[in-house]
Amino acid sequence: ADLRLRSIPVILLVADFEAADAVVRGWRPAAVLHKPFHLTALTAAVRRILRADSDPSESW
């Protein structure tokens, strides 16, 4: 594997969708994972994002 690619972070983005027309209203960064990361770290980040989206007190 190319060692240069190992230092590139993975940025998880989330978007707001309108149910009526399924158009993306805006992307925003939700988490940054630095390689190498474990699947458990990715899963935890996605769960945190989903919880934050359902709780308006945790908005950006």
Residue 47's domain spans which residues? 3-58
According to DSSP, the residues that pair with 50 across neighbouring strands are: none
- Give yes or no for residue 45 having a pLDDT over 70: yes
- What type of residue sits at position 25? R
- Using DSSP's 3-state secondary structure scheme, residue 46 falls into helix
- Of 13 and 21, which is predicted with more confidence? 13
- Of 51 and 14, which is predicted with more confidence? 51
- How many domains in the chain? 1
Longest dimension (CA), the chain: 44
pLDDT score for 60:
45
- Using DSSP's 3-state secondary structure scheme, residue 47 falls into helix
Cα–Cα dist 31/45, whole Å? 7
Q: What is the pLDDT of residues 2-17, one digit of tens each?
A: 666 667 777 877 776 6
pLDDT score for 2:
65
